[in-house]
Amino acid sequence: MITLNHVAHVNKVEQALTEIEALGLASQHDLANGHASQELAQAQQHIIAKLPEIWTRAAKQKSRKAELMFKDAFRKLAQTPSLINYEHFKICPTASNSIDVVATWLAEKQLKTALIEPTFDNLYLILKRRGIDLTALPETLLHTGEFKTAFSNVDALFLVNPNNPTGKVLSRNQFVDIAEWCAANNKVLILDNTFRFFVPQLFDAYQILLDSGVTFLSIEDTGKVWPTQEIKASLLFCSSNIIQEVHIIYDEIFLCHSNFALGILSEFLLDAHERGLAEAVWHGVATRRQKFREALNATILDIHPGSELSAISVEWVVIKNHFEDDLALADHFQSQNLILLPGRQFYWSKKGEFAQTNSARFALLKPESEFLSAIDVLSKELGRLN
């Protein structure tokens, strides 16, 4: 069996996190892949019954009408009235596609970019592949405001809010401060909001962006939240001063997204708006989080300091003892047919002797029976190792 340690230590090449997630897809117990794969709620079954109706409607629609209907469903759930008449957006099939469009735009402008750390490494890998000059922006500096001095020489800030894996969320005051600083200092502000619906929608971030006058690109997504068989849509909003440049890049690659996909996803957004996020999303995550944390209680693993209040669909864990590092932990559980993500790749700028090796990430949104089976393996093995 090829193990994580074998790949990383023998071949001297670290696997990307998406490669490890692919291992999870084929494994008996997958706590690696962060996509939503839980069962549909009973209250969502009516959406499946409407698929013929959605298909017929989609076949008759013009693409822009389907896009505007989806955007309207999104802004209702996100509680962003500033987007009611806002048309400076495109829709990509996945958030990774949106990130690549952003990366292409950054490359054309040759903008030096500060990317938040820790964060999921595909952001770094996509930006790097496009040739972006990158520097790491430690999350701790972002929340203290100290980034203003440290990153005065960059052209763009790329943030993830809530952040994956830590679950930390910017407050309204912090968000206003960042947007206004970027605007005053001619910095582009890039936001990955793909985990937004796991937390309360307390303020209209787009109103703040528009009021500040900042140049921005903002990525939204459905794929982390709703179990739609990998049918996704990623809204990419832009400030008006750059939308034509983004249009050109987008149209070269996608032209448009599927009306049918947007019709299905609009129904899920509207259902969540009608029932409320607490019932439609948060309850299922919280139930799984409780069971996961019970399995960690008084063991060699613990929730990372600062992530205790995380509400997103993954858990950020610190390794207290027993295992040499995150790869050893991941290898051990892989031998039990349980796949998790080693934490070092989230610290994308730290390699070799500087690697951060005491963390791991676990995903929660799995079908209930599969999740409980994985938690049983995790709990018994941690109890044996303790």
pLDDT greater than 60 at residue 112: yes
Is residue 321 located within the same domain as residue 259?
A: no
Domain-ending residue, one of 275, 294, 329: 275
51 domain residue, yes or no: no
Evaluate whether residue 24 is within a structural domain: yes
DSSP 205-256: HHHHHHHHT-EEEEE--STTTS-STT---EEEEE-TTTHHHHHHHHHHHTS-
The full DSSP string for 14-45 is: PPPHHHHHHHHHTSSEE-S--S--PPPPGGGH
Do 238 and 175 sit in the same domain of this protein? yes
Classify residue 202: in a domain, yes or no. yes
Q: Closest by alpha carbon to 342, among 362, 320, 313, 321? A: 362
pLDDT on residue 7:
43
Up-side HSE of residue 253: CA atoms within 13 Å toward CB?
16
| Position 322 in a domain | yes
Number of domains, the chain: 2
CATH number at residue 329: 3.90.1150.10
Same domain, 194 and 296: no
List pLDDT tens digits, range 325-356.
999 999 999 999 999 999 999 999 999 889 99
Confidence of residue 12 (pLDDT cuts 50, 70, 90): very low
The whole-chain average pLDDT of the chain stands at 94
- The answer to the question of residue 49 being in a domain is no
Say if 314 falls within a structural domain. Answer: yes
In this structure, are 267 and 317 located in the same domain?
Answer: no
Instruction: Judge if 113 and 174 occupy the same domain.
Output: yes
| 245 & 193 share domain | yes
Q: Residues 246-274: what's their mean pLDDT? A: 97
**Within a domain: residue 50?**
no
Tell me: pLDDT of 13 over 80.
no
The more confident residue out of 11 and 231 is 231
> Is 117's pLDDT higher than 70?
yes
Domain of 336 in residue numbering reads as: 4-40+277-385
Q: Are residues 183 and 285 in the same domain?
A: no
pTM (2 decimals)?
0.95
Residue 98: exposure state from Cβ atoms within 10 A (0-12, 13-18, ≥19): buried
**253 pLDDT more than 80:** yes
pLDDT of residue 2: 47
- pLDDT at position 4: 57
Look at residues 275, 303, 336 and tell me which one is the last residue of a structural domain.
275
pLDDT in tens, 41-56: 999 999 999 999 999 9
Q: Which of 245, 275, 305 is the last residue of a domain?
A: 275
Asked if the model's pLDDT at residue 26 lies above 50, the reply is yes
Strands annotated E in the chain: 29-30, 89-92, 113-117, 134-138, 156-160, 188-192, 215-219, 234-238, 301-303, 314-319, 338-339, 341-342, 359-363
What confidence tier does 149 reach under pLDDT thresholds 50, 70, 90?
confident
176-217 confidence digits (pLDDT tens) = 999 999 999 999 999 999 999 999 999 999 999 999 999 999
Is residue 48, in this structure, part of any structural domain at all?
A: no
